[in-house]
Chain A
Amino acid sequence: MDRSRNASLTSDETTAGPGVTVSIAVEARNAVKAFGQGEAAVRALDDVSVQIRQGEFFTLLGPSGCGKTTLLRLIAGFETPTSGQILLDGKDITADPPNRRPVNTVFQSYALFPHLTVAQNVGFGLQMQGRPRAEVADRAAKMLTLVRLDHLAQRKTSQLSGGQQQRVALARALAPQPKVLLLDEPLSALDLKLRKEMQIELKRLQHETGITFVFVTHDQEEALTMSDRIGVMSAGKILQVGSPRDIYTRPANRFVASFIGETNFLPGFYAHGQVALAGGHVPVAAGTKEGSTVTLAVRPEQVRLVAADAPGSLPATVRDLVYFGTDTHCHMALSDGSEVVARLQSSVSGEAGLEPGARVGLVFTEGAAQVLED
């Protein structure tokens, strides 16, 4: 789709590089949200600053309770920050109530109005804005066509399936043409097949409307496949912001590396551009403090198996093989007992005649091993 455009935007985190001007749709500045008082206060958001760009599909990703929904509710205006600011198009909207913000929300439970028809639900926002009746009807019909529900316009929402209700909720939130659309885990109530369909549908809608989407999810796969950029959150903080590729290949810390995809964590010691591990050395990018204990993070698909005595390889013993169809996961132990998992193509691992107890050598794809400081 428009990956190329976004790739150029995401080449740098905070400034879009010389010559490229990026307008910021939404911004949180030092946003803090504390629930409760005094000693018992819990900081759901702990000094969060993030800039979401005009027209991008931005995902807030994190486990439940990490503060991602709280951040979304601050942007929507359902909560006011304990301190800090929310800006929309550079304008401070922190004090504005939700009905004065050109921002709409798709709720996890959809929250469709049960007393209204599908078309009336979709037209609700425009009607509240005081638009003429003809325009409301016209726009509601257009939105329903966009989400392919025009044939159900006169139904009551209780007569719709979960997927259809989801589409109505989307059409309703998009109808007033908000500057930003907020989506609070909108796909979590759908079954797998429907979820996959809606992921594609959401990308299509975002592309066709050009509206900035802020999407909240705990599903890393959803985040990786749909987003232009991802903000990974944990314990009320944003740990890393970047493109899916950035986040996956260059996780900023152990949490990000373990939350997104599978990762081998190997304890080691950094010196002279190398990390010393049990049974060998792995060359890594420079920049780490000499002589510090570090953790080496390697994705299972970046681990290759070679002959046991191949030069530059780490000696290991195969413990177990788990067959996944296309792939086979090969669980191995280094000489100090630490576990490494390699993801191999099943056809390759079958030919190699691997079996538990076999002695092999490990090589990491060049540049794939990330050093995480402890």
Chain B
Amino acid sequence: MPSPQDRARVRNGWLLSAPALVLLAMAAAGPLLVVLVYSFLEAGQYGGVEWAFSTDAWFGILFSKDIFTDETMLADAHLAIFWRSVKLSLLTTLITFAVGFPTAWFIATRAPRARAMWLFLITIPFWTNLLIRTFAINEVIRNEGILNSLLLWAGVISAPIQIIYTDTAVLIGMAYVYLPLMVLPLFAAIDRFDMKLLEAAYDLYASRLQVLRRVILPIVKPGIVAGSILVFVPSLGAYVTPRVLGGGKNMMIGNFIELQFGQGRNWPLGAALSMLLLVIVMVALLAYVRAANKGAGHGH
């Protein structure tokens, strides 16, 4: 039974945090609400919106109407973009995990001072502008770039390999950009891992592969899940990397949304796509929370 003092303390707590709450509502919930409302309006002729209720935008995510016959058909171009976005984001997550896990293991098993240095090195790219880093990748992989020049010079290839403006280029870029987001939570999980357990498992007849599968991976799972979400979510909404490295043809959802607000002049569709992206991310986050709770069952 809460006493009057307790209730007063709760009330004062709310009052004191009111300014922060108002700010949060305006900065976070407000814009989201605007996007949600816009997704249910009609597109203006030259951009912007007409203040009339319409579900055309939501309909337009999956279907399009033929302008001549007025026939409704599946918007397979849109689906291709969604599919590419999800596919590239999943692949990015896989690649960053494959590279990030050994890296995080390596760092976590160094002496404390060396560990701090390695972590510092991992985070250095964060200090540079994303656009600049992406153009640096461009410089490496473009047809006259460093990679192709080297391979040509070494005689490995006779003509430049087309990497730039392909899905591979986008993948390379995203994996590079988001790698630290995978390494850091993995490091945190591996750092807490009791290395004695390796000896215990090895002593109890587990092969090296079994030690990895039956002991290491299940115990560091919360780190794997956290890293995967941290990579997958921004990959799905990536804009700069596919724009610079993928060119105009290899759009992802982020570029597609931008297109609607720019040349496409279909703000409601852009808004609906943004909301859809948000929903996908929310679902991914929910999955994360559930997986993390399962993993937290052993006291992490």
A interface with B by C-beta (< 8 Å):
76-78, 97-99, 103-105, 107, 109, 111-115, 124-125, 128-129, 156-158, 172-173, 176
Contact A129 B205 (CB under 8 A): yes
Residue pair A113, B202 in contact (C-beta under 8 Å): no
Query: Contacts of B207 on A, CB cut-off 8 Å?
Result: 99, 128
Q: Which of A97, A115, A128, A156 contacts B204 (CB 8 A)?
A: A128
Of B194, B205, B206, B207, most A-chain CB atoms within 10 Å:
B205
Closest to A172 in B: B204
**Can you identify 19 A-B contacts, CB atoms within 8 angstroms?**
A99-B204, A103-B203, A105-B199, A105-B203, A109-B196, A111-B197, A111-B199, A111-B200, A112-B200, A115-B218, A124-B214, A128-B201, A128-B206, A128-B207, A128-B210, A172-B204, A173-B203, A173-B204, A176-B205
B297 on the interface (CB 8 Å rule)?
yes
B41 close to chain A: CB less than 8 A: no
- Chain B, range 186-221, C-beta contacts under 8 Å to A: 194, 196-197, 199-207, 210, 214-215, 218-219
Residue pair B298, A99 in contact (C-beta under 8 Å): no
Q: What are the residues of chain A within 8 A of B214 when measuring CB–CB?
A: 124, 128
Q: In the docked arrangement, what's the CA distance between A104 and B202, Å?
A: 10
Do the beta carbons of A107 and B204 come within 8 Å of each other? no
Q: Are B196 and A124 in contact (CB under 8 A)?
A: no
B13 at the interface (CB under 8 A from A): no
Contacts of A125 in B (CB 8 A): 204-205
A107 and B215 form a contact (CB under 8 A): no
Q: What's the Cα separation between A173 and B203 when bound, in Å?
A: 9
Residues of B within 8 A of A113 (CB): 197, 200-201, 215, 219
User: In the complex, which residues of chain A have a beta carbon less than 8 angstroms from the beta carbon of B203?
Assistant: 76-78, 98-99, 103-105, 173
Chain B residues with CB below 8 A from A176, complex form: 204-205
Contact string, B161-199, partner A, CB cutoff 8 A, digits 1/0? 000000000000000000000000000000000101101
> In the assembly, what is the distance between CA of A157 and CA of B219, in Å?
13
Task: Kindly state the separation between the CA atoms of A129 and B218 in the bound complex, as whole angstroms.
Answer: 20
What's the nearest-Cβ distance from chain B to residue A343, in Å?
Answer: 42
Cα of A115 to Cα of B299 in the assembled complex, Å: 9
Which single member of A97, A103, A105, A158 contacts B298 (CB below 8 Å)?
A: A158
* A15 vs B205: C-alpha distance when bound (angstroms): 34
Q: How far is the CA of A158 from the CA of B298 in the complex (A)?
A: 7
Partner of A107, one of B199, B206, B210, B298: B199
* B194 CB, min distance to chain A CBs, angstroms: 7
A115 touches B219 (CB 8 A): yes
Complex: A157 Cα to B297 Cα, angstroms: 11
Shortest C-beta distance, A288 to chain B (Å), equals 47
Q: How far is the CB of A62 from chain B (nearest CB, A)?
A: 22
Whether A124 contacts B298 in the complex (CB less than 8 A), given A107-B199, A114-B219, comes out as no
In B17-46, which residues have CB < 8 Å from any A CB? none
| Chain A residue nearest to B198 in the complex (CB) | A111
Determine how close the nearest CB of chain A comes to the CB of B115; give it in whole angstroms: 22
Give complex CA distance A105, B199 in Å: 9
Task: Verify A111–B196 contact, CB threshold 8 A.
Answer: yes
- The answer to whether A156 touches B205 (Cβ under 8 A) is no
**A-side contacts of B204, CB under 8 Å:** 99, 104, 124-125, 128, 172-173, 176
CA distance A105 to B202 in the complex (A): 10
Residue of A nearest to B297 (CB): A156
Q: How far is the CB of B287 from chain A (nearest CB, A)?
A: 19
Known contacts A78-B199, A156-B298, A158-B298; decide if A99 and B205 are in contact (CB<8 Å).
Answer: yes
Inter-subunit contact A99/B196 (CB<8 Å)? no
Closest B residue to A109 using CB positions: B196
Shortest B283–chain A CB gap in Å is 26
Residues of chain A lying within 8 A (CB to CB) of residue B196: 107, 109, 111
Further pairs besides A97-B202, A111-B194, A156-B298: 15, Cβ < 8 Å: A76-B203, A98-B203, A99-B204, A107-B199, A107-B200, A112-B200, A114-B194, A114-B299, A115-B215, A115-B218, A124-B206, A125-B204, A128-B201, A128-B207, A173-B203
